[in-house]
Amino acid sequence: MDINKLITPYIGLPYKHHGRDRQGYDCYGLIIAIYADMGYKLMDIEEKYDEHWSWQGRNHFIENYHKQWDIVTTPKPLDVIMFKNKRGIVNHGGIIIDRFRFINARKAGVVIDRIGADRWTQSLDGFYHLKEATW
């Protein structure tokens, strides 16, 4: 699979909080979209919010998340990288491109960032591989 061909259509698209389409993505919306392009359907945490965007399913998400993903110490391209905020809550993610870069959606839009940049190394949670993935 050509990862550059896979991610290029997303680069430069706008950021949108809770975004799930080409009008704008948030970080998890981007992960869902790219994985869908590869033929994988991921559980969407947005389904666990009520009409006021109040979280209704944290325990359900955590329980099911670990059914879909393995934590890995050495990520491969297309694995997911996750970050936590200052309170220790995982709240951002992206997809590994190579040893040095990952694609993610943030306020600047869909961009490629360096894994080793201070902004990211300080908040790194870990790397995850989709259990059903065959790469």
Domain that holds residue 14: 3-130
CATH number of the domain enclosing 48:
3.90.1720.10
Mean pLDDT of 85-97: 89
pLDDT of 13 reads 98
Q: Is 30 part of any domain? A: yes
pLDDT of 43 reads 83
Q: Is 13 part of any domain? A: yes
Predicted confidence band at 100 (pLDDT cuts at 50, 70, 90)?
very high
Lowest mean pLDDT among 31-45, 57-71, 72-86, 112-126: 57-71
Check pLDDT > 70 for residue 51: no
Q: Is 7 part of any domain? A: yes
pLDDT of 61 reads 47
pLDDT of 90 reads 81
pLDDT of 54 reads 47
Q: State how far the Cα of 81 lies from the Cα of 123, in Å rounded to an integer.
A: 11
The structure's pTM equals 0.88
Counted domains in the chain: 1
CB 91 within 8 Å of CB 84: yes
Mean pLDDT of 12-34: 96
Lowest mean pLDDT among 10-14, 35-39, 53-57, 94-98: 53-57
Residue with tokens 């869902």: 32
Q: Is 135 part of any domain? A: no
Strand order in the sheet with 69-72: 69-72, 124-130, 80-84, 90-96, 101-106, 109-114
